[in-house]
Each structure stands twice: as structure tokens, then as C-alpha cells.
Amino acid sequence: MPGRLRAINPLQSPARPYIALGLEGSANKLGAGIIRHGVDGSSTILSNVRHTYITPPGEGFQPRDTSLHHREWVLQVINESLLNACVSILDVDCICYTKGPGMGAPLQSVALVARTLSLLFNKPLVGVNHCIGHIEMGREVTGAKNPVVLYVSGGNTQVIAYSRQCYRIFGETLDIAVGNCLDRFARVINLSNDPSPGYNIEQEAKKGTRLLPLPYTTKGMDVSLSGILTSIEAYTHDKRFRSGGNLIDFEDSDIITPADLCFSLQETVFAMLVEITERAMAHIGSKEVLIVGGVGCNERLQEMMGVMAKERNGQIFATDERFCIDNGIMIAQAGLLSFRMGQLTVVSKSTCTQRFRTDQVHVAWRS
């Protein structure tokens, strides 16, 4: 019986170093990053600058206001990124920008800047799928080879695995994303948006001592989160709820605090995510799981996923907030991989789309 042929890597080592500038602005994070691919196949992060649009407690970020923030800060962020990388815009081989998915107005603001730089300095333009950027940056930083990917952010919740030059979606949210669920509840209990609502929920959850019953809605490989959000909000109208977490008298021990609600929400939602990720690992026989996206830097989620992976004799890969939270370097990484495979975006087609699924991208750089 003939031996199995080894797949040939379509991404060949470059004849010279390549440098890419990546611009990200799909939501309230504005980022610019510069990466270099060396002739030995290595990748070097030269700079990774980010500025966040933060709203007052209890408020979300609107597309128009977020777009204005990006327009105000984009030149400063790009200049700082170039300065930190010790390169000139003339040294850059391609300009990469987030094509989608994301919020329309912020996406357009950053795409306009990328298009302008491309025309001014005669640099090739590369439109990048935001989700692919997260995955490729996660693989590069952690060294994961072929993991099941849990992509969790404010706008996306997907379980993904690679096959035949495509990142295929095994399961996803049927309604709202996990990050959106956490952010909306943070507004209900008036948590600060600085540095992010999800981070503050994580810190508040560490003080929680009571696990309250919530809907556990996994549906095959998919999850539903809108009902959980409705249920957790209902607890804030319960007569036992104390917004300050204080007892009215010594006999009043049956209370519900914001910390208890944050703890219960995290434990329930994260358990659902671990379950569907484990199903995907079992289905494809993988021993690796990679967590990417803004919610991916939550230490409790990483801990729960790590327990599951260990029980399966597997391994978990995750990054810190530099790469989990939306950033420009992930767009530069995915864009430069596309550029090296000849996948360029002509200016006349350098549009944005709010809906751009992960499995719509041809991953030409993987075998």
C-alpha cells in the first residue's frame, strides 16, 4: 500500500523580506500594525498600536460616533505605528485593511484611509476578512498547527476548523454574539466601559459566590444567547437583587448581587462554548484548540477550556489582550499572506461589507 503523500505548502519562502501595514477599524478599536516576513519564513511584529473609543457607563457605541473617532485618530495611530517600527511608508510592500465583517461606518472610514495611502504611495491594496485575521494571528503567535478554533468577540461566535483551503464553520450563535451578550448586560448593571465591559464583568464575576439558574441553550453545534440575556436581566428586577450588594439587615441573607449575576452569566455561557468546541474536536479528531477574539482573553474561559482539553489529552492555545482584542497587526499578518499568494484588491473593488463570513475566504496559503 503506497504511503500517504505529504501535502506541499503553497506558501513559499520569500526571495526578500516583505513588510505590510494593517489597518483595523471594524468596531470601537482602531488599530495599525506593521509586520515583516523574512526570507527564512519567520514573522516579526514591528509595531502594534491601538486606540479605543470608550463611551460612558450604561452606553454602547454608535456607528456614526465610532466612525468620527476613527477619522480623528487614524493618522496619529498610523504615524505612531510607523515610528515604533522604524520604517517609512515607502518601505511597506502592501496596505491591508479590514473589508468586513463589522460596523458599516467605521469600516468605511478606515477603508478610505487605506485606499488613499494605496493611491498616494502606489502600494498594492489587500482587503482582509476580520475573522481570518484573528485566526492567522493566533496561529502565528501561539504556534498552533491545525487547531479547532473558538472565535468569540463582540460581533461573532463561531467554532471553526480548517479543511481544503477553507476555514469551515462547525457551529455558531443563532442570534447575538457572546461579546455582545456580555457588553449589553454590563450596561444593564452600569459597569464601566473602560477598558472594556467584558473585562469589567470578568473582574466582577470573581467576587460572585452564587450560581443562579439560567437557560442552557446549545442546539447541536450552535448556541443561542438572547434568551440567557433576557433571563439574567430579569434577575435585576427581582426583589432579592441588591445593586450595591449590601444587606438590608442581618437576617436578609437571600440576596442577589451584581457579582453573582456576572459569575452566573460567565459560567453558563462559557460552559456552552466549551461543549460545542469539544464536539468539534471529537468530530475531526483534533488535540488542539485555539481561542481568538476579544472574549478570548477572558482567563475564566481559558481555564474552563483548558480543563476540557486536558481531559482529552489535548492542548489549549490562547493569546493575551495585545492580540485577542481587535488590532492592526492581525490584519497585516493575514493581508501579507494573501499578498504573497497574489491575492490583491483593486481600488475599484476596495469596498466593505458588514457581512463577510469566515468560510467565504479562499485560504490559498495553506495546503
> What residues have CB less than 8 Å from 201, skipping those under 6 apart?
182, 185, 186, 191, 262, 265, 266
Cα separation, 100 vs 26, whole angstroms:
7
Closest C-alpha to 261, from 282, 280, 238: 238
> What residues have CB less than 8 Å from 205, skipping those under 6 apart?
259, 262, 263, 265, 266, 300
The interaxial angle of helices 328-340 and 130-142, nearest 10 deg, is 90
Closest C-alpha to 96, from 137, 68, 54: 137
Q: What is the pLDDT along the chain (367 residues), one digit of tens a residue?
A: 445 555 688 999 999 999 999 999 999 999 999 999 999 999 999 999 999 999 999 999 999 999 999 999 999 999 999 999 999 999 999 999 999 999 999 999 999 999 999 999 999 999 999 999 999 999 999 999 999 999 999 999 999 999 999 999 999 999 999 999 999 999 999 999 999 999 999 999 999 999 999 999 999 999 999 999 999 999 999 999 998 766 555 456 789 999 999 999 999 999 999 999 999 999 999 999 999 999 999 999 999 999 999 999 999 999 999 999 999 999 999 999 999 999 999 999 999 999 999 999 999 999 9
CA distances from 12 to 8, 118, 364 (A): 10, 25, 12
Cis amide linkage into residue 195, ω under 30° from 0: yes
Check residue 2 and give its pLDDT: 47
C-alpha cell at 290: 485555539
Give pTM, 2 decimals: 0.95
Check residue 248 and give its pLDDT: 53
Check residue 253 and give its pLDDT: 75
